[in-house]
Chain A
Amino acid sequence: MNYLGLIINIFVSVAKTGNDRNAFTSFSCAEIRTLCGNWRESRQIDRSKASSLGKLSEARYRTMQFYSRRKKLIGNSQTEQLYGHCLQFYGQPPIENISLSEFETFAVDRLKLLKTVENLGVSYVKTSELYTKKLDAEFSNLNFPYKIEASTKDDRKPQTGPSEYEKRRKDHISHFILRLAYCQTEDLRRWFIQQEIDLFRYRFNHLPSKNIREFLQYNNLHYHTISIDKKKNLMDKLVTSSFAVSGSTVDCQDFYKVPFQDALDLVRTRKVYLNGGYVYIPHQDIVTIVLNDFRTRLSKALALTARSLPAVQSDERLQPLLNHLSHAYVGQDYSIQKSIGKISLEQIDPLSAKSYPLCMRQLHRGLRDSHHLRHGGRMQYGLFLKGIGLTLDQALQFWRSEFVKGKVDADKFDKAYAYSIRHMFGKEGKRTDYTPYSCMKVILSNPPSQGDQHGCPFRHSDPELLKQKLQSYKVSPSGISQILELVKGMHYQLACQKYFELTHSIEDSGFSLNHPNQYFMESQKLLGGPGAGVKVEVKREDNPATKPPNPSPHQTPGPGNLPQEVAAEITEDLDSFFQDA
């Protein structure tokens, strides 16, 4: 089966669950690493089954075993122990065999889960009911374990869908698969760690306290409790150290003595009593500590994973999937148009010269010149226009007026082309609200052929032609050679960034380019234009009372968009989202 195509489809839809994060800078295909050592830890070799997959060499079998589906190992004591808790630190990699299709499904589902975690985390306060409800729903939809199921003990209740065991197994395996995909660059690692931490925190907070104790014990977190006498002695100090700790907290809860290195956030903000290198934490706060531990472990594991040399070079079954997983655009997808309706059609021509990235400028020029664009160009440019704020009506008018100047009359336009424009806006067919293409997508997929205007000029244009074009756009010779150098090094997005800097006469663009609409917005911001969009503060953890102001009334909530009252754009300060609450 051509699962390559399947994966791309899956990831187009995954990328549409709008999220608001700018992730990584450009990296070319050449930089993509393949699999790493985790799977090598599984040493089981089943030679009897080796022949069933024909040509693959035995060396490959030592590292990965993927066979046709085996019977579930229910009752196997090792796996029972491994999945004895609904929450885990993912310390041990899976050592069983799974089929390729399960491999895919698990990975994709987890990625969907993590993206939901990201979106919800940006739009809602993480402890609010709405957040909980929505995340629970997602867990349930994707068959991940999230609460201690009472039904695991109650066998009389008929189980519909996968069992708790199966859910936990999926959780375990999918985590490790995503590690392979997300260990490759610093930005990927950071994103992955952040979402996994939020996920972990959510699940930990919903554990009943007995299970918390079990969890700590099981995972060798020897955070020892202090004696009652000692608590009494320290009462004053404990109460004055933390806003959350009162006399009754000290009386009723256990206090743990934790090395300060394991509780840095609490130390940094001076929210805890520190003595002799240990902090004293009430049971209610032990989650922060556990999270730090989790973060450290995961961070180390990912670094190890990345460093393990790609000895397992390109297993052709897995490399495409893992590549696509990590390429799934994790930045802002511009499906939420903040400046909708703010751009008028007359402004498009001047805007195209001032604020369009080179690819869109080229497309616009092509459209104006030949009064036509092919499908690839219509998609790339059309979605871009949607992203900068054109309404459906404006888009229809825009395209019609241009096409009509060419060989297409109004009727034909309405019959043939209008449909696809409405489709782009999610008004036809399965009504998916398509998102504007990211740079990654433009660069990597659908290369233009003769007569096409789409694609990324830095990637797809002949350097000589690119040079001429830049000259015609009055870019300085030194600027052009800088750009060409970057193109030679396959740093297409950096080249475009340089183009931005040169055309706006600034030294440093101040952002990492990964989306044409981002280019447009940044340019408009600089020039003070209408397309800059209104930035809205997202809710902070410590201010549950503040809500983001309502966005523009024109916004049409599509299936892929977040509900109106919570659509918000993050502030530029990305670091705050990588800190624990």
Chain B
Amino acid sequence: MTTADYDQASLPDLLPLYYRRLFPFSQYHRWLNYGGVTKNYFQNREFSFTLKDDIYVRYQSFSTQNELEKEMQKMNPYKIDIGAVYSHRPNQHNTVKSGSFQALEKELVFDIDMTDYDDVRSCCSGADICPKCWTLMTIAIRILDRALRDDFGFRHCLWVYSGRRGVHCWVCDEAARKLSVVARSAVAEYLSLVKGGDETVRKVVLSDPIHPFITESLTVVERYFSQYALLGQDILGSKEAVDKVLALLPEDILFLCYFQTEKNPEMRWDTLRSMAQDKRTTAKKGHYFEMEIMLQYCYPRLDVNVSKGVNHLLKSPFSVHPKTGRISVPIDLRELDRFDPFEVPTISLICEELDQPKTEEEQEDTMENENKKEAGERRKMRDYKRTSLAKYVKLFDNFLEGMAHSRKGEVLKNSQKHFPPPECQNETFDRPMYQCL
């Protein structure tokens, strides 16, 4: 039993504890400061807090990590959102001449919400999730992460569990943060395959030629389809479910007769699939309906509006979800298939863990670090390490380390622009310069 019972009413007691002893301020600041490369990057960042009784305050900004800490410990926000880096300090935006106060940069973000899949999941609906439909998030993360990395060349993508029914992605590359509204919208459109609302039945339409991006995405979907859709969601089982699938097929395929005799979902799918393949070899136009079905049932559905706006506010990592009590923790992509949203620590759990006596391991740790740092900091570091939050902070640390490493690489590359090593002078242009080393 890893989750203590969480009750929203206890938030006012738990939050102060969380912000005083558990919230990883140092890492948080390290993240948003981005190495201090750009002046005032942290100071011009907008935060918004949702306080008790749904009081919402925007345009919060802080000069230092310390100020951020003090303020959060004072206000004990129920929710924290991160906005853009503006041209001036957000908390002084009223003093700026109208029109001059502008959102300049922000991470490229994506929000995948399970409710957007209600038309294709039979196990849950609305805000509910279960291990069965969670696979949709796994698929979404795999597909999008691959695309962001391989297609767009982004290297620093932080995937975070939202705390209830979805995941967020924060693309932190410098190039991503500098993207314009138009560019963000183009990226989001590129990644969108499922289109249409309640009134659209066939939400995925494929035609020749099939872009490599779609092929790659299908490869991911196929890995999970049988287990997730055919077995878990039983999309070719009950009559009701089958009808929904058939609604996506062109009329001249008569599966109904066939399905009367064959009951096994996997057999049904195989037939459907081979019929589609047959059609492709005979007909002139491409018929990709089996691919369309797979994509409609599994492909990530993202909200373009969240990704488009430079000034859009999104829930912060390590923020608490008031309804579930779960902390928005980073997701380890190396262990993606094993990620269980129901194992994510709640604020009540980690507060409880704080009170537990130290284990031997931790006592050793303490003695090592005793001489190195100030008492207060020591205590803080020890504190979250004692809880289930530890591994997630470590994950975050690794992420930040990766970005720091990239920054060093950039500095090196830039210095080489002025003094390229001799062997590189006849270089063809499609190799990055630092490969000369």
Q: Chain A interface (Cβ within 8 Å of chain B)?
A: 222, 224, 226-227, 230, 237, 239-243, 257, 260-261, 264-265, 267-270, 273-278
Among B185, B212, B214, the one with the most A-chain Cβ atoms within 10 Å of its Cβ is B212
Query: Are A230's CB and B179's CB within 8 A?
Result: no
A241 to B214, CA, bound (A): 10
Which residues from A are CB-within-8-Å of B428? Answer: 227
Query: Are A227's CB and B430's CB within 8 A?
Result: yes
A240 to B175, CA, bound (A): 27
B191's nearest neighbour on chain A, judged by CB, is: A270
A315: shortest Cβ distance to chain B, in Å? 26
Which residues from B are CB-within-8-Å of A226? Answer: 430
**B153 contacts the other chain (CB 8 A):** yes
Contact with A along B173-204 (1 / 0, CB 8 A): 00100010011011101100000000000000
Q: Is the interface of B mostly helix, strand, loop or mixed?
A: helix
Which residues from A are CB-within-8-Å of B215? Answer: 240
A75: shortest Cβ distance to chain B, in Å? 38
Please list the 7 inter-chain residue pairs (A to B) with the smallest Cβ-Cβ separation, ordered nearest first.
Answer: A277-B153, A224-B429, A268-B186, A264-B186, A276-B153, A268-B189, A274-B151
**B419 contacts the other chain (CB 8 A):** no
Which residues from B are CB-within-8-Å of A275? Answer: 150-151, 153
Which residues from A are CB-within-8-Å of B153? Answer: 275-278
A273's nearest neighbour on chain B, judged by CB, is: B212
Can you list 12 A-B pairs, Cβ within 8 angstroms, ordered by A? A224-B429, A224-B430, A227-B428, A257-B430, A270-B190, A273-B212, A274-B152, A274-B190, A274-B213, A275-B153, A277-B151, A277-B152
- Known: A230-B430, A239-B209, A240-B211. Contact between A265 and B151, CB under 8 A? no
Contact with A along B425-437 (1 / 0, CB 8 A): 0001110000000
Query: Are B189's CB and A269's CB within 8 A?
Result: yes
B184's nearest neighbour on chain A, judged by CB, is: A264
- Known: A268-B186, A275-B151. Contact between A237 and B212, CB under 8 A? yes
Contact with A along B139-165 (1 / 0, CB 8 A): 000000000001111100000000000
**B283 contacts the other chain (CB 8 A):** no
- Known: A239-B209, A276-B153. Contact between A265 and B186, CB under 8 A? yes
Which residues from A are CB-within-8-Å of B55? Answer: none
Which residues from B are CB-within-8-Å of A222? Answer: 429
- Known: A243-B209, A261-B183, A277-B153. Contact between A268 and B430, CB under 8 A? no
Query: Are B152's CB and A241's CB within 8 A?
Result: no
- Among candidates B150, B186, B208, B212, residue contacting A267 with C-beta atoms closer than 8 Å: B186
Which residues from B are CB-within-8-Å of A243? Answer: 208-209
A240 to B186, CA, bound (A): 20
A275 to B190, CA, bound (A): 13
A474 to B211, CA, bound (A): 61
Query: Are A240's CB and B152's CB within 8 A?
Result: no
Which residues from A are CB-within-8-Å of B151? Answer: 274-277
Which residues from A are CB-within-8-Å of B175? Answer: 261, 277
B176's nearest neighbour on chain A, judged by CB, is: A277
Query: Are A270's CB and B179's CB within 8 A?
Result: no
Which residues from A are CB-within-8-Å of B430? Answer: 224, 226-227, 230, 257
A263's nearest neighbour on chain B, judged by CB, is: B186
B189's nearest neighbour on chain A, judged by CB, is: A268
Query: Are A268's CB and B179's CB within 8 A?
Result: no
Query: Are B211's CB and A241's CB within 8 A?
Result: yes
A256: shortest Cβ distance to chain B, in Å? 10
A238: shortest Cβ distance to chain B, in Å? 9
A242's nearest neighbour on chain B, judged by CB, is: B209
Which residues from A are CB-within-8-Å of B210? Answer: 240
Query: Are B211's CB and A270's CB within 8 A?
Result: yes
Query: Are A240's CB and B182's CB within 8 A?
Result: no
A270's nearest neighbour on chain B, judged by CB, is: B211
Which residues from B are CB-within-8-Å of A278? Answer: 153
Which residues from B are CB-within-8-Å of A260? Answer: 152
A222's nearest neighbour on chain B, judged by CB, is: B429
A269 to B208, CA, bound (A): 14
A222 to B185, CA, bound (A): 25
- Known: A241-B209, A274-B152. Contact between A264 and B429, CB under 8 A? no
Which residues from B are CB-within-8-Å of A277? Answer: 151-154, 175
A569 to B323, CA, bound (A): 53
Query: Are A267's CB and B211's CB within 8 A?
Result: no
A275 to B154, CA, bound (A): 10
* Residues 392 to 437 of chain B near chain A (Cβ within 8 Å): 428-430
Which residues from A are CB-within-8-Å of B189? Answer: 267-270
A241 to B190, CA, bound (A): 12
A275 to B152, CA, bound (A): 6
A224 to B431, CA, bound (A): 11
A452 to B211, CA, bound (A): 67
A380 to B172, CA, bound (A): 60
A227 to B151, CA, bound (A): 20
Which residues from B are CB-within-8-Å of A267? Answer: 186-187, 189-190
A240 to B213, CA, bound (A): 10
A294: shortest Cβ distance to chain B, in Å? 15
List 18 other contacts, CB 8 Å, given A240-B209, A274-B213, A277-B175. A230-B430, A240-B210, A240-B215, A241-B212, A243-B208, A260-B152, A265-B186, A267-B190, A268-B189, A268-B190, A270-B190, A270-B213, A274-B151, A274-B190, A275-B150, A275-B151, A277-B152, A277-B153
Query: Are A268's CB and B185's CB within 8 A?
Result: yes
B131: shortest Cβ distance to chain A, in Å? 33
A222 to B429, CA, bound (A): 10
A157 to B210, CA, bound (A): 54
A257 to B431, CA, bound (A): 11
A234's nearest neighbour on chain B, judged by CB, is: B212
A277 to B428, CA, bound (A): 18
A225: shortest Cβ distance to chain B, in Å? 8
B182's nearest neighbour on chain A, judged by CB, is: A264
A237's nearest neighbour on chain B, judged by CB, is: B212
B152: shortest Cβ distance to chain A, in Å? 5
Contact with A along B269-304 (1 / 0, CB 8 A): 000000000000000000000000000000000000
Which residues from B are CB-within-8-Å of A276? Answer: 150-153
Query: Are B212's CB and A240's CB within 8 A?
Result: yes
B214's nearest neighbour on chain A, judged by CB, is: A270
Which residues from A are CB-within-8-Å of B154? Answer: 277
* Residues 206 to 235 of chain B near chain A (Cβ within 8 Å): 208-215
Query: Are B179's CB and A261's CB within 8 A?
Result: yes
Query: Are A264's CB and B183's CB within 8 A?
Result: yes
A120 to B217, CA, bound (A): 42
Which residues from B are CB-within-8-Å of A239? Answer: 209
Which residues from B are CB-within-8-Å of A270? Answer: 189-190, 211, 213-214
B429's nearest neighbour on chain A, judged by CB, is: A224
A276's nearest neighbour on chain B, judged by CB, is: B153
A478 to B211, CA, bound (A): 58
A271's nearest neighbour on chain B, judged by CB, is: B211
A255 to B175, CA, bound (A): 24
A264 to B430, CA, bound (A): 20
